[in-house]
A and B are shown apart, each in its own frame.
Chain A
Amino acid sequence: MSKQDPKLLLQPAPLLRQGMTTPAAMRDVWLALLPATAAALWYFGLAALLVLVASIAGSVLTEWAFTPKERRAITLRDNSAALTGLLLGLTLPPALPLWMAFVGGAVAIGIGKLIWGGLGANIFNPALVGRAFLLATFPIAMTSWTVQQGPAEFFTVHASNLTAPFMQAPVMDTLSAATPLGQMKFEQSATPLWDLLIGNTAGSIGETSALLLLLGGIYLFLRRDLDWRIPVGIFASAALFSAILYGVDAERYPSALFTLLSGGMLLGALFMATDPVTSPVTPKGAWVFAIGVGFLVVLIRVFGGFPEGMMYAILLMNAATPLIDRWTQPRVFGRNKGGSA
């Protein structure tokens, strides 16, 4: 019996291996985000690209700086830090000063992920931690939206993009615009659904094109990278709550379809709420989590001070995830509900 050709192969479990590794999962998400990112460049031009690059640079550099030398090669190669940077960048306004995007990326990885012990140990979605920090820190810059300039003016970069680090962005005048959610909240005017669907609106870099985001979500579902219960539950509960409100007063409240297609709903539900690290592992827990997110989004959007509530809804349910997981633990085979044999 030689070592090369053993008659009896003994090895520890797992005996069946799947190709699902961290780098592979990250690659899938990158691919899924590609169409929406391309649309962002089409609509917002070079400015959007620069913001994305700055945010990714902030994330990757922080990951590099605060990881022990021996582990750098592994943690950087799985592209998870860069993905966090990309996800954060997609939630930022296109005219944001680049240094703020960089700070956001650094906070996302530093305070959102590494401080908890690195990939898989964080409680909150890192990209959203970065965004929440930026929104609380630079509230004006984070809510200054621009109109889409389209591919004809691809090389237009906003003056505010190139603000020197730690300096205030110049006030935007002609280019500023309101997002569909802002118009809904402050002027009670609904943007046509077709514009929301193809992304022809003002808004964060990657949130405008509902159709392409859905395409990416479907790809992730087919690759089994996401738990379908979470987006479905979010859409269902948000649509239901929103439809009830719409039934009460159609003048004041948005319709269910508007709720689903506007703002960060799709980006958040498909790419952020489904983060396997920060969402419940049990199927029942996933439903609870998703329904909570959907309910909170509408609650914050309609009754809260902010026009958009996706970020806080997901972060709040992230905080509840350990509890949900404990409540929804399935019965262990061979034991009764109390856990005894």
Chain B
Amino acid sequence: MAISSKKMNPYDEMMKGLWRDNPVFVQVLGMCPMLAVTNSAINAIAMGLATFFVLVGSSFLVSSLKRWIPKQVRISVYIVIIATFVTVVDYVLLATVPAIHKELGAFIPLIVANCLILGRQEAFASRYPVKLAVMDAIGMATGFLLAMFALGSVREILGEGKLFGVSLFGDNFEPWVIMILPPGGFITLGLLLLLFNWVGERKQAFIAQVAEAERGKA
């Protein structure tokens, strides 16, 4: 399993989760919480932070224990490890922010089934040293958190005229009801994907243009 990990830079492993391999906009993983709990910015951030904790914790543990996990039962072992951290998060949220815990509801236990987390264990944490695995988890979880926040804030601003519960446009704002309903989640996610791909394409074109100009000079 040991792919040469010496050349891999922990910083790069972290940064790739933010943009190049963003779990939501590039890999399109973790769609269930992405669509279900992003009807307000604060819910989105709470879910993002919960996922952050679970992903980083289980990547650390899986990477540390990878030598002792039998290959045949690895998925079950990952799930048990992830479920441990999810239980911790569940109780912490219940104890500290019961209102948000109530709103997130069944979606906190469902973090166990988030394919982003299981995917990182199978594809990364179980193959690389602890340091790289943790940096990768931090990057991926931050990318997920940012995407959650982007979607949640767009939906809250249009759907209720507020951000973090603070009214932005005064009392006369006409709320876009569809934005806090499920279709609003799908539409906003689709449009953000469109935007993300468009920016990526522009960036590629720009790089190509610069390279062309450089070659012209030389």
Residues of A within 8 A of B (CB): 97, 100, 111, 115, 133, 136-139, 141, 163, 166-169
Contacts and interface: CB of A to CB of B under 8 A. Distances in A.
B176 A138 contact: yes
B169 A136 contact: no
B75 interface: no
B177 interface: yes
A168 B173 contact: yes
A133 B178 contact: yes
B68 to A, nearest CB: 49
Contact of B172 (A100, A111, A141, A168): A168
B183 to A, nearest CB: 7
Contact of A166 (B169, B181, B187): B169
Chain B CB count within 10 A is highest, among A133, A139, A166, A169, for A166
A166 B174 contact: yes
10 closest cross-chain pairs (CB), A and B: A136-B178, A137-B178, A168-B174, A167-B172, A137-B176, A168-B172, A137-B177, A167-B174, A166-B173, A139-B177
Interface of B: 161, 169, 172-174, 176-179, 181, 183, 187, 190, 194
Contact of A138 (B169, B172, B177, B183): B177
A136 B172 CA distance: 19
Nearest to B171: A168
Nearest to B159: A137
Nearest to A111: B187
A167 B178 contact: no
Contacts, number: 32
Nearest to A169: B174
A133 B179 CA distance: 10
B174 A136 contact: no
Nearest to A103: B176
A219 to B, nearest CB: 36
A136 B173 contact: no
Contacts of A141: 174
B187 A136 contact: no
B156 to A, nearest CB: 14
Given A115-B194, A168-B172, A168-B173, 7 more contacts: A111-B187, A136-B177, A136-B183, A137-B177, A138-B174, A138-B176, A168-B174
B82 to A, nearest CB: 36
A169 B169 CA distance: 15
Contacts of B173: 166-168
Contacts of B172: 167-168
A46 to B, nearest CB: 23
Contacts of A137: 176-179
A65 to B, nearest CB: 13
Contacts of A163: 174
Nearest to A134: B178
16 contacts: A97-B174, A133-B178, A136-B177, A136-B178, A136-B181, A137-B177, A137-B179, A138-B174, A138-B177, A139-B177, A166-B161, A166-B173, A167-B174, A168-B172, A168-B174, A169-B174
Contacts of B187: 111
Contacts of B183: 136
Most buried by A among B173, B174, B183: B174
A139 B179 CA distance: 13
A141 B183 CA distance: 19
Nearest to A100: B174
